[in-house]
Structure 1
Amino acid sequence: MGEVFAGRYELIDPIGRGGSGAVWRAWDHRRRRYVAAKVLRHSDAHTLLRFVREQAVRIDHPHVLAPASWAADDDKVLFTMDVVRGGSLAQLVADYGPLPPRLACTLLDQLLSGLAAVHAEGVIHRDIKPANLLLEATGTGRPHLRLSDFGIALRKGEPRLTETDHVVGTPGYLAPEQLLGAEPDFPADLFAVGLIGLYLLTGYKSDAPALVQRFTAQGTGGVYGAGAHSAPNAPVGVPEPLWQVLAGLLQPDPQARFRTATGARKALMAAARLLPEPSLEEEAVEVFDQLGPLPVGFGPNGPVPRPPEPTPALSLALALPSAPPQPEPSEPLHPPEQPTPTTRPDPEPVPPHRSSPRPALTRTYTAHSPEVPTPAASAARQRRPGPPPKVAIPVVVVALLCLAVGFWALAAG
């Protein structure tokens, strides 16, 4: 079995790595269910404070994967969340390449829905990228996206944990104002959503300026050009209605950008209604299980109990010989008492022509019947001395008459 952390979480196997630590599949012995556990060392004050901030996020939303609980043990800390089995958007695009527009629109809508809930709690995510957008394993059904990894999230107005000239985030998904060291704000997250949309529709994984400049007309300066507030030409493979929404998210000036996730979502829904019906290509995209089977010793309901080893006393008992077999039910346990037999004459000598002696006499007892002699025993009993022969009936009658006459004579005299 795996290591048990803080007496509750049993680490099973690593399933990923976040911005501040490894992510394990673990078994929660208290709630008796599998969870994803991010383990990190609090080696310095900044890491520990970020951990405290991340585990303090409690947002209950179907498209947000926020920490659910936390624990500390020695020099390590961990927090747990639900297990999401379908991989990330990065893996999905790596498997299928650019996604169909309607499917990309569905994923962006779910991302903006979760981000609206995060912003409503006053939290700025600051690290929206394909690897942090996880998917449930829904097969060919409707995809289900969840925004994860709040390792560098920050509540608006809270003090920053780094110097003002130190940029925190993933290169390639930072808004222009972040590169200039501006204070974090909600529009910075929306800029990252625009880059996610381009990534889903084109499959390009460049840094933000190069990615946007690739799809702008020559001489216009593009979305990153100074003072550019109009949308450039739509890139190949991106429908024009959808491109208008992405261009509004990618404006370099945060004041010209969508100000809220809810506003961007409404514009996206209007654009989705102008898209063509789903094609066979869209239905062929499958979000399958990326985690694989559980290791040996674990099942769907948790650790598989091992059979107990026999104790020494039990082993000794198993080594002892078994009890003698009991008699058959037809045999009585105790034969009925019989009178002591009289002395029998010696058996007759075996004639010379016999090759073997006569078999010994045997007796068979039953529970409620007298002895049944064998033929040999009957023959032997016939040779025993028997009682005297019976007196004839006339002699007895004469004797009785004589006695009667005698008594009569005495009485007469």
Structure 2
Amino acid sequence: MVAGRYVLLDQIGVGGMGSVWRARDQRTGCLVAVKVLGQHSSALLARFVREQAIRVRHPHVVAPHGWAAEDDLVVLAMELVPGGSVADLLREHGPLDPGTVALLVEQLLTGLTAVHGAGLVHRDVKPANLLLEATGHEPPHLRLGDFGVAAPVADRRFTTVPGAIGTDGYMAPEQARGALPEPTQDLYAVGRVALELMTGLPPARQREVPSHPLRPLVERLLVPDPEQRLATAEAALRLLARLSVPAADPPPVPDRLGPAPRGRRTTGAGRVADVDWAGWGAVVALTGVVVGCLCVLLGWPP
């Protein structure tokens, strides 16, 4: 039991921020994904505060919906998406048919429309962050996830660390040079993802855009000059709708997690109080976490 609310059932992933677990929310009875932070450096806690603040509700976005903390344990809860990621699909099936590429790109652009409409730039659009519902032999359903480096549009507070923020190969040229966050940077990444779906090749091995029904869109997304690139996700969707694309013939998307194991409710010393009614020790710990994160975000001390 974590924070008196989430029963961790099995580990389903690991990343730079820590581990990801399938868990049961004791308040709702629903299965959720819970990200458990690793070592709590100030930068990691700042990223946590940033991610837990994201509140975009959209069918093609999966954003955090709750968090909890006790002493040095900090967790972030979000919807459970059991079909793996687009990276899994590419690894197992290679290049996808044009109709499936168009379907996935359309869903990604639709999700980004909501993200950008909320005044945010994702900054890390890549196949591993494009989660899939377990739709079986039905058409795939994409969910944009991992908002750990997302930032408000053109917000200088999130570009103060040395170096570029994002993933090599998917970053727009200006993003790699440390430019302020802008939606067109996400659109460049969509172009890289689309080219990877078309060819099966990661950005390091991509060359020119091959002959393909989506070529006019991908070329407009990969323009190096952000002033000449498609300006909005809506504009990209309008161009996509004008292209002649065959019907999708997607590979199946299985449930990669399988049945949830039975959780065992801990009691006594093994049980941690919910942060909503934790004791003074938890309050002090949480206060230290929040104050430390705010100091990092605000750049204090200078």
- TM-score above 0.5, yes or no: yes
Q: Tell me if the contact between 2:153 and 2:180 (Cα under 8 Å) persists in the aligned partners.
A: no
Q: Which of 1 and 2 has higher RCO (CA within 8 Å, sep 6+)? A: 2
Whether the aligned pair in 2 keeps the contact of 1:16 and 1:24 (CA below 8 Å) is yes
For 1:63 and 1:243, the matched residues in 2 are separated by: 24
Distance 1:164 1:20 in 2: 17
Rg: which structure is higher?
A: 1
Which residue of the partner structure matches residue 294 of structure 1?
260
Q: CA deviation at 1:95?
A: 1.2
Match of 1:131 among 128, 131, 134: 128
Partner of 1:270: 242
SS in 2 for 1:187: helix
Separation in 1, partners of 2:80, 2:122: 20
Q: Which residue of 2 aligns with 1:244?
A: 216
Structure 2 unpaired stretches of 5+: 266-302
Deviation above 6 Å: which 4+ runs of structure 1? Answer: none
The CA deviation at 1:154 is 0.5
Q: Give, in whole Å, the separation in 2 of the partners of 1:70 and 1:37.
A: 9
Q: How many residues align?
A: 266
Query: Retained in 2: the 8 A contact 1:42–1:48?
Result: no
CA distance in structure 1 between the aligned counterparts of 2:177 and 2:187, rounded to whole angstroms: 17
Residue type at the aligned position of 1:197: A
Alignment RMSD: 1.8
Structure 1, unmatched stretches of 5+, are 216-233, 305-413
Please list the CA deviations of residues 228-270 of structure 1 after superposition, one character each: whole Å capped at 9, or x if unmatched.
Answer: xxxxxx41xx42x410100000000000101100100111111
CA contact (8 A) 2:90 2:200 kept: yes
- Structure 2: how far apart are the matches of 1:41 and 1:104? 35
What CA deviation, in whole Å up to 9, does each residue of 1:39-94 have, x standing for no partner? 11462222212111111111110000010111111112111111101100000111
Q: Is this contact kept in 1: 2:129–2:146, CA < 8 A?
A: yes
Indicate how the Cα distance of structure 1 residues 48 and 268 shifts in structure 2: closer, same or farther if over 3 A, else same. Answer: same
Task: Report matched runs for 1:133-282 at 5 Å.
Answer: 133-161=130-158, 163=160, 165-207=162-204, 210-211=205-206, 214-215=207-208, 234-235=209-210, 238-239=211-212, 241-271=213-243, 274-278=244-248, 282=249
Q: Normalising by structure 2, report the TM-score.
A: 0.83
Alignment of 1:9-408 (within 5 A): 9-41=6-38, 43-161=40-158, 163=160, 165-207=162-204, 210-211=205-206, 214-215=207-208, 234-235=209-210, 238-239=211-212, 241-271=213-243, 274-278=244-248, 282=249, 285-295=251-261, 297-298=262-263
Identity of aligned residues (%): 49
Distance 2:246 2:224 in 1: 30
Aligned-residue offset at 1:185: 0.9
1:145-195 Cα offsets, whole Å, 9 max, x none, are 000000011012433345364211111111100121211211110000000
What TM-score results when the alignment is normalised by the length of structure 1? 0.62
User: Match for 1:291: what amino acid?
Assistant: L
Partner Cα distance (1:68, 1:148) in 2: 12
